């Protein structure tokens, strides 16, 4: 009997050790020989300047990093969003290689910045969850298109309810993730004509609970950050469900970026209601959705993240993470 008890205890301790090691593998940064490291001192901001909450980031073909941020605006505790435009620039552009500030624009336009994406032509697409609008700008800040009615929420083809992101096809047509309330993805022609939509609130395939981001793969697959469901859903170009990834290591996917070699980089905002409070990290997935690694951990030191909200990959392979609570943008590069 004693031998049996000892055997059971040994088995239990072995299982516990395995569970702890598996959790550590999920949540620890990559070893230096395998992963990425943060670039200290990137970007270079003028003395006394700060970005405020960083909600969106993307990189163009010229390695210019476009950062969408809220400057002196904060998300209100009562969730009532102010329509008064922010009086400071909200789009700041850095040189990806050096981190030098190139220029800024966007003052007195946006009320609550959210998503930013660069289309194949180099134009900048922005969403504002307070104004309920989608915007297309030139890289220098000239407005080219506005979709939605200022400050008016709705669920018809030309109204939105807290839209979060835009992904643009090579022919100029685009997808909108809409969003916090409407839980749908809608597609539009290059000139802004509504084509179709999909998604309802729920947990089944093709349903959403807070559609927080949308990106396109080179194979024209549509990757959707289904944030509150803790998963990434993948669709074909017409909105038909293909697969989903919901590994616990993915956490809460706020945003997704795709590398040239097919890996998927996920900003895990770390706000799981039933999980540890310090799960914020950058998650790397293989093309089949299996988890390769987690980079970084919760914190406000270089290489750490408080709530990663946006992620983008530059033409040189550098990865940029926008931290909405930490109010900064960080650059990560592969460790040689």
Average pLDDT, 10 consecutive residues per value, the chain (336 residues): 43 35 33 70 92 97 98 92 96 98 98 98 98 98 98 98 98 97 97 98 97 95 96 98 93 95 93 66 94 90 94 97 96 91
Q: Which of 62, 89, 86, 88 shows the shortest CA–CA distance to 75?
A: 86
What is the tens place of the pLDDT at every residue in 96-153? 999 999 999 999 999 999 999 999 999 999 999 999 999 999 999 999 999 999 999 9
**How would you list the strands of the sheet with 143-147, edge to edge?**
113-118, 124-128, 133-137, 143-147
Rounded-to-5 percentages of helix, strand, coil across the chain: 10, 40, 50
Q: Which of 39, 71, 69 is nearest to 54 (CA)?
A: 69
* H/E segment holding residue 161: none
> Rounded to whole angstroms, what are the CA distances from 183 to 45, 101, 154, 165, 226?
37, 36, 12, 12, 9
Mind listing the pLDDT tens digit for each residue in 196-210? 999 999 999 999 999
* DSSP category for residue 130: T
Residues 6+ apart with CB under 8 A from 219: none
Q: Which pTM was predicted?
A: 0.89
Give yes or no for a contact between 309 and 255, defined as CB atoms under 8 angstroms apart: yes
Q: Name the fold adopted by 33-334.
A: Neuraminidase (2.120.10)
Whole-number pLDDT of residue 297 = 87
Delimit the domains of the chain by residue range: 1-30, 33-334
Percentage of the chain lying above the pLDDT 70 cut: 88
Whether residue 227 contacts residue 234, with contact meaning beta carbons closer than 8 Å, is answered with: no
| DSSP letter assigned to residue 282 | E
């Amino acid at each position: 009997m004693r031998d049996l008890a000892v055997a059971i205890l040994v088995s239990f301790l072995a299982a516990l050790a395995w569970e702890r090691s598996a959790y550590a593998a999920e949540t620890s940064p990559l070893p230096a020989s395998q992963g990425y490291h943060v670039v200290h001192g990137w970007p270079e901001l003028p003395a006394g300047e700060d970005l405020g909450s960083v909600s969106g980031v993307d990189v163009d073909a010229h390695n210019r990093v476009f950062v969408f941020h809220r400057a002196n605006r904060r998300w209100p505790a009562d969730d009532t969003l102010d329509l008064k435009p922010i009086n400071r620039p909200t789009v700041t552009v850095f040189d990806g290689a050096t981190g030098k500030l190139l220029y800024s624009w966007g003052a007195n336009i946006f009320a609550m910045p959210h998503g930013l994406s660069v289309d194949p032509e180099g134009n900048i697409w922005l969403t504002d969850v307070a104004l309920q609008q989608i915007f297309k700008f030139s890289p220098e800040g000239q407005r080219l298109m506005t979709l939605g009615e200022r400050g008016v929420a709705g669920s018809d083809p030309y109204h939105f309810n807290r839209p979060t992101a835009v992904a643009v096809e090579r022919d100029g047509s685009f997808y909108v993730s809409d969003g916090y309330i409407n839980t749908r993805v809608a597609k539009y022609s290059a000139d802004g004509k509504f084509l179709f939509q999909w998604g309802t609130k729920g947990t089944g395939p093709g349903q959403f609970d807070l559609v927080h981001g949308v990106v396109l793969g080179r194979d024209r697959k549509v990757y959707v950050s289904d944030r509150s469901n803790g998963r990434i859903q993948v669709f074909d170009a017409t909105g038909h469900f293909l697969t989903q990834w919901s590994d616990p290591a993915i956490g809460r996917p706020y945003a997704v970026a795709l590398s040239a070699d097919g890996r998927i980089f996920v900003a895990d905002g770390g706000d799981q209601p039933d999980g540890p409070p310090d799960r914020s990290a950058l998650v790397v997935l293989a093309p089949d959705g299996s988890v390769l690694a987690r980079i970084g951990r919760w914190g406000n030191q270089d290489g750490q993240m408080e709530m990663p909200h946006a992620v983008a990959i530059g033409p040189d392979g550098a990865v940029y993470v926008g931290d909405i609570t930490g109010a900064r943008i960080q650059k990560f590069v592969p460790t040689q």
